[in-house]
């Protein structure tokens, strides 16, 4: 494989005029002047050169929470008119009997095309196990296999209708399995992570029981845990407390994530001060889903309306790893989206009011390095010896990337270019003004 040299790049940590040398699909060198060294040592006709022109070169984007089985199903069988979480679950339940393997694969493959074009090369997707056929599970496992050359797709066994609440015989009277049996079958088939939804069980006690049962299952199998936890405006929805306690009891520290955790937005500050210590002790990570949380939460409020997203800057200040997820794209819960994790980061920045320079960097990290940590991705990031996975953006800094949500000029995996886009340049016909603009300032 020829040597590739990317010159004059700016990195997310602020370093500028950096060269990256790629050999055999790996980063062979990174730093100022590395391109000049390649020339001095005798670059040949096979050496490829890319001038980044001071633009931002980043590790790929990572989506820490998504629902690939539901994506691009907007309007099937109908639109969620109320826009609430519960009607979304109802609409998805109406669609499930009509799902087919081919439709799930077609939508998943189309979404993964979008993801690659956006520089999104790792996704953790929850997949519904509340179906005696496990059709979505089988489809997503096949999708994972197909996209493996270009996307790391991690799957979570997610009992959408509740691992204790759902009775499979309501879907198929001949089914002799429990909802837990179906979840275990999904793991046996190759799903990677144990999921749950304790706040959707019939009672708080049943929710706590489900957390305990599912964490024990993960401990027995040596698996990671990622639960939808307290996706509610109810401040008394406190299953994250049980999740942290079970994590410590079972020695799962550093292997458990709480997704959403929106009830924390409404909790009493004194209780949260206690909760933060429990989360630190458990080394629990948290994933917020800004686009969906700001859309679904606060639906029962008049005014003032709660934003609903969990306490992102406060969690980060406590040293808790926080990632962002897209969660939904054109499905029963959210009508919009295009696999753009910078849109997710920008919404998180706004909702959490993280407008400082540090806050901007943290929101960018929530869709890159912090999300990668939550997924336990090995060898992630722009470092010597790591795979040459990277994205060149039409922006000169993290600030500009967030502000513009710019073109991904180049998306690379293992040293191979997967996607390219032309720069965004608008042509102007104005008196005494430049003939083009790229929306940079200073220009």
Q: In this structure, what token pair is assigned to residue 65?
A: 């929470």
Do 308 and 294 contact (CB within 8 A), yes or no? yes
Strands 152-158 and 436-437: unpaired
Half-sphere exposure of 442 (CA within 13 A, CB side): 0
> 43, 59, 63, 37: which is closest to 3 by C-alpha?
43
Residues in the chain: 443
Catalytic residue numbers read: 231
Phi, psi for residue 126 in degrees, rounded to 5: -80, 135
Of 203, 207, 185, 206, give the one whose Cα is nearest residue 194: 185
Contact assessment for residue 223 and residue 154, using Cβ atoms and an 8 Å cutoff: no
Q: Distance from CA of residue 142 to its chain's centroid?
A: 20
Q: At 424, list the tokens.
A: 């965004």
- Taking the CA atoms of residue 129, residue 224, residue 341 and residue 260 in that order, the dihedral angle to the nearest 10 degrees is 70
């Amino acid at each position: 494989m020829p040597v590739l040299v990317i010159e004059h790049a700016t990195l997310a940590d602020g370093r500028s005029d950096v060269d990256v040398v790629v050999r055999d699909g790996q980063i062979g060198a990174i730093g100022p002047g590395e391109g000049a060294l390649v020339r001095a040592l005798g670059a040949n006709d096979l050496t490829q050169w890319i001038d980044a022109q001071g633009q931002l070169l980043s590790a790929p984007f990572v989506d820490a929470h998504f629902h690939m089985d539901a994506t691009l199903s907007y309007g099937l069988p109908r639109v969620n008119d109320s826009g609430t979480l519960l009607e979304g679950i109802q609409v998805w339940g109406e669609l499930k009997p009509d799902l087919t393997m081919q439709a799930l694969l077609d939508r998943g493959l189309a979404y993964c095309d979008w993801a690659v074009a956006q520089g999104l090369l790792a996704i953790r997707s929850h997949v519904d196990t509340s179906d005696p056929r496990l059709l979505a599970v089988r489809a997503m496992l096949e999708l994972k296999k197909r996209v493996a050359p270009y996307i790391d797709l991690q799957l979570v066994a997610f009992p959408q209708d509740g691992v204790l609440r759902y009775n499979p015989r309501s879907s198929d009277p001949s089914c002799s399995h429990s909802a837990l049996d179906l979840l275990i079958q999904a793991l046996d088939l190759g799903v990677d992570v144990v999921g749950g939804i304790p706040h959707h069980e019939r009672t708080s006690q049943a929710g706590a029981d489900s957390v305990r049962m599912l964490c024990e299952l993960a401990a027995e199998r040596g698996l990671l845990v990622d639960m939808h936890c307290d996706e509610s405006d109810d401040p008394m929805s406190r299953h994250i407390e049980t999740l942290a306690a079970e994590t410590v009891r079972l020695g799962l520290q550093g292997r458990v994530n709480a997704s959403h955790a929106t009830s924390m937005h409404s909790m009493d500050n004194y209780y949260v001060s206690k909760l933060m210590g429990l989360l630190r002790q458990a080394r629990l990570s948290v994933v917020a889903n800004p686009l969906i949380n700001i859309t679904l939460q606060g639906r029962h409020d008049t005014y003032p309306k709660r934003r609903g997203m969990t306490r992102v800057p406060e969690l980060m200040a406590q040293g808790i790893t926080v990632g962002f997820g897209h969660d939904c794209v054109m499905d029963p819960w959210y009508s919009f989206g295009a696999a753009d994790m910078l849109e997710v980061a920008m919404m998180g920045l706004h909702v959490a009011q993280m407008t400082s320079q540090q806050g901007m960097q943290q929101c960018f990290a929530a869709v890159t390095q912090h999300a990668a940590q939550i997924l336990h991705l090995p060898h992630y990031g722009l470092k010597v010896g790591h795979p040459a996975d990277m994205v060149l953006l039409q922006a000169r800094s993290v600030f500009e990337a967030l502000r513009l949500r710019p073109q991904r000029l180049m998306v690379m995996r293992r040293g191979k270019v997967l996607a390219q886009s032309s720069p965004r340049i608008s042509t102007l016909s104005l008196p005494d003004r430049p003939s083009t603009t790229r929306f940079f300032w200073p220009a």
